[in-house]
Amino acid sequence: MAQSVRDAVRTLMRDWKLTTVFGNPGSTEIAFLADWPDDFRYVLGLQEASVVAMADAFAQLTRNAAVVNLHSAGGLGHGLGSLVTAFHNRAPLILIAGQQSRSLLPGDPFLGALDPTEFPKPYVKWSYQPARAEDVPAAFARAYLLATQAPRGPVYLSVPADDWDQPAEVVQTRPRIADPAPDDEALASVAAALDASERPVLVVGAAVDDDDAVEVAVGLAEKLRAAVWAAPFSARSSFPEDHPLFSGFLPPNRAGVAGVLADHDCVVVLGAPAFTYHVVTGSGPELPPVHVLSDDPQLLARANGVGVRSPQRAGIARLTELVQTSERVPPAARQRPPRLPDPSPGEPLSGAFVYQTLADLLPANALVVEEAPTNRPDMQERLPITARGRGFLTMSSGVLGYGLPAAVGAALAEPGRPVVAVLGDGGSMYGIQALWTAARQQTAVVFVILDNGEYGAVRKHAVRNGAEKVPGIELGGLDFRDLARGMGCAAHQISTATELRTTLEAALASSAPTLLHVRLT
């Protein structure tokens, strides 16, 4: 008996350890899902944007591709916001969306996807609908090898519903494409610039952590005795924030970055753009010479500096070998703010106090997933990420709705690890459906929702720009405790420091998902 397209693709999925599938099904996906294997896991999400965000975090932490199964046209459309984030997060996703049956396509059928390969662009590395049913397995193999090839990222396949039952040839699995070797001559020039420098500085971005290169980055910084800054909007923590060489977080504007770096005479950017800006400012002082190490040719082409194409771990390790051990006086240690006292009776909790309490109570191996933009400065001041790799995730796109479902995907990737998601009230409502998946999958996630009753980041921008009478900012009236309980999670309202500590301790000890609704106003 000849094997089907479905059988051939599942063989590839087994060989590449892609047996967890995230999805929200529709009629055009039935043939893909039929006779679901017992050794496969299907993680159901109740909205496609949440599904993609779960898979994003899962793929980042497993360092393998994740398969996402979405419904034709509309399902992909719902997921596009999270696809933007996955693209910027460099998450290796294989999105498979159902297409209406080939025999119906000439008549523009119900649930048919118009120009399906154009729909997800430009936020995929590759977009394809096979010309013939028998080409689907080979297309899936190409999708996997592209998604996992540096720079990693999402790919998209549109598969007509009647393709899955057609006969197919065996497609052999192949090893993943190796990262490019670092350019030794280019690295030598960077090393020479560092050796000649009096006040060098390193700027680390998400790709350092993505390549498990935090330890080698620490080694390079210590050998150089150089200050280390986190790149603007870095979606991961790529240097332990309690290290004496860690200086802080670069602001997302040209004048702010230039002002911080003006005291240095050589800048080496590792695994980050140089630089990501968000608000318009003056240009500030002239930047010192900048060198950028990245495996992304697009990033290198637009970077404000000399580009070196290199993976992070191998490139930083080689650079560490090439530079001389420095006798420079190390930079002054970053000053931490004094501890906050407990709020007075009747005084609302602040985001800063919540982060301070989290820092007191989180286990050393906890993973923090964050999406509370208004309170991010409080997090950076009060909750240092001290893990030497894989301790922090957020979205690098600015598209809300990532944090809550991403925490669920992270817990599925590393089920034995404490996962704490710190979220804003506005962003939480973009992915609130993922609480149902958290309960169904029994993921031991602690969700801490900081409720300030508004889109606080939007209000800050309005104030900064002198804009008055801006509508659509106020929220309020959201009861996250009832929402969470209605989807099967334990949940608590928090209004005092004592409630915060005792409830957080209990939630961290629980094996079930728990939500803490903290009203800040």
For 152-163, write each residue's pLDDT tens digit: 999 999 999 999
How do residues 475-519 score in pLDDT, each as one tens digit?
788 999 999 999 999 999 999 999 999 999 999 999 999 999 999
Mean pLDDT of 406-426: 97
Residue 519's DSSP bridge partners are 451
Q: What angle do CA 386, 293, 256 make, to 5 degrees?
A: 65
Q: Is 367 exposed, middle or buried (0-12, 13-18, 19+ CB in 10 A)?
A: buried
Cα separation of 408 and 388, whole Å? 22
Spatial distance between the Cα atoms of 183 and 128, rounded to a whole number of angstroms: 33
What pLDDT sits at residue 80?
97
Q: Are strands 227-230 and 200-204 parallel, antiparallel or unpaired?
A: parallel
Q: To the nearest whole percent, how much of the chain has pLDDT over 70?
A: 99
Tokens matching residue 509 = 């000890």
Beta bridge mates, 493 = 517
Contact 349, 495 (CB under 8 A): yes
Look at residue 29 in the predicted model and tell me its pLDDT: 94
For residue 1, what pLDDT is reported?
54
160 vs 470, more confident: 160
Tokens of 231: 């790149």
Return the structure tokens found at 125: 């590395």
Per-residue pLDDT, 455: 73
What's the pTM value of the predicted model, to 2 decimals?
0.96
The residue-averaged pLDDT of 331-340 equals: 93
The pLDDT confidence band at residue 283, using thresholds 50, 70 and 90, is: confident
Question: What value does the mean pLDDT take over residues 40-64?
Answer: 98
Q: What's the pLDDT tens digit per position in 119-142?
A: 999 999 999 999 999 999 999 999
- One-letter amino acid for residue 215 of the chain: E
H-assigned helices in 254-336: 254-261, 297-302, 312-322
- Enumerate long-range contacts of 397-401, CB under 8 Å, 24 or more apart: 397/84, 397/85, 397/87, 397/88, 397/89, 398/233, 398/278, 399/81, 399/82, 399/84, 399/85, 400/81, 400/371, 400/426, 400/427, 400/430, 401/49, 401/50, 401/53, 401/81, 401/82, 401/427, 401/430, 401/431
The yes-or-no verdict on residue 464 having pLDDT over 80 is: no
What domains can be seen in the chain, in order of their start residue?
A: 5-163 (3.40.50.970), 184-322 (3.40.50.1220), 351-519 (3.40.50.970)
